[in-house]
Amino acid sequence: MATIGMGDIKKGVRLEITGVPYKVVEFQHVKPGKGAAFVRCKVKSFLNGKVIEKTIH
């Protein structure tokens, strides 16, 4: 599977995290004053429908 960058994460994008397929429901790109930028997103599992929050660096 191809890797995607933080700029490619948008609502509706499908991705795989640790072998489990997810769909991005909501995302927020965070650029703190100190430190590296990251994306905080809520993703919905295709397997069981649960929504979890993930932080991607």
Ramachandran category for residue 21: left, alpha or beta (phi over 0 → left; psi -120 to 50 → alpha): beta
Amino acid, res. 44: K
Phi, psi of 19 (to 5 degrees): 80, 0
Q: Does 1 have pLDDT greater than 70?
A: no
The 10s digit of each residue's pLDDT in 18-53 is 999 999 999 999 999 999 999 999 999 999 999 999
pTM > 0.85: no
Assigned CATH class of 6-56: mainly beta
